[in-house]
Amino acid sequence: MSENSPANQPAEGTISLQAISQNMLLGLQRQYDMLVFTLASIRNEDPTTYNLYSSLARVMPLAPAHLPHDKMRAYSRALLQRSAVNDLIVLSVECMNHCHLLCTFIKERGKNMQGDPASDQRIAERQTAFVKANIQEKFSILERDFNIVCELEDSLFSLAAALRVLVNNHGQVTNDDISPDGTLVLEFKAVKDVEENGKTAPKLVDTSRSFKPGERLELSDEELIGMNITVAKFFDGLFRSVDFFGTYHLGGN
């Protein structure tokens, strides 16, 4: 559904929690697939192949600026890191926008799927304001209007902080990026083997990385993958909260 015309769409048959969850998780899966594919490509790519493709055109736009294989690998890895973090934030924001629209429909119309011009106008105005809001404001609106408290809110904030460092400071942490304790902390989930009752099994655990001013923000392959898992867990918590809100106001499933 286009966010530019939220009130022009009928609620029934067009917007539903099931449709939102399927679309968002599909987008996240494609993001994950592209991430791991590119990580594998960077790791397995060799200088011979790089030089072969570099010479195919027989001429370069600016040959003196051509990067050798080792520097190009580092450059592509840094670009991938920035793109991966940015894409996860975009997906998270889009998910929040769609969930807000659904909750607004439920609150405004209840079981009346027909709507009316006045309620349609209120839905459109509230959705437009929400789409324009920053991430912190979005969390506040969801809690204020629908009593939805999002799990892993701090993890989304840390993703946004990481993106600011990667975009504005070329990956170097500055004094403007740190918290009062003097560090920039990134929080994310990871799947690790945990021993319980004499048995070892994979379990979702909390992990974090701290960076001090002057350090470069560089994440391992496992940490980049962990951020995808974090967003998946964020989606899950948000969908459960929206489901509870809808069930409370409409009844049934």
**pLDDT at 21 > cutoff 90:** yes
* Sequence-separated (6 or more) residues with CB below 8 Å from residue 79: none
H helices present in the chain, as ranges: 17-44, 47-54, 69-109, 117-132, 135-146, 153-168, 221-250
Question: Residue 78, CB half-sphere, CA atoms under 13 Å: how many?
Answer: 15
In the chain, the amino acid numbered 231 is V
Position 215 scores a pLDDT of 93
The pLDDT value given to residue 4: 40
Q: Are 92 and 158 in contact (CB under 8 A)?
A: no
pLDDT at 244: 93
Token pair of 145, please? 């209007």
Question: How many Cα atoms are found within 13 Å in the side-chain-facing hemisphere of 95?
Answer: 29
Using only the alpha carbons of the chain, give its radius of gyration: 22
What ranges do the domains of the chain cover? 6-250
User: Structure tokens of 26?
Assistant: 């599909």
Residue in the structure block whose two tokens are 């991966």: 84
What pLDDT was estimated at residue 103? 95
Range among 68-72, 96-100, 246-250 rated most confident: 96-100
Q: Three-state DSSP class for 193?
A: strand
16-41 average pLDDT score: 94
Range among 2-6, 103-107, 176-180 with highest mean pLDDT value: 103-107
Q: What span, in angstroms and rounded, lies between the C-alpha atoms of 253 and 250? A: 8
In tens, the pLDDT along 213-238 reads 999 999 999 999 999 999 999 999 99
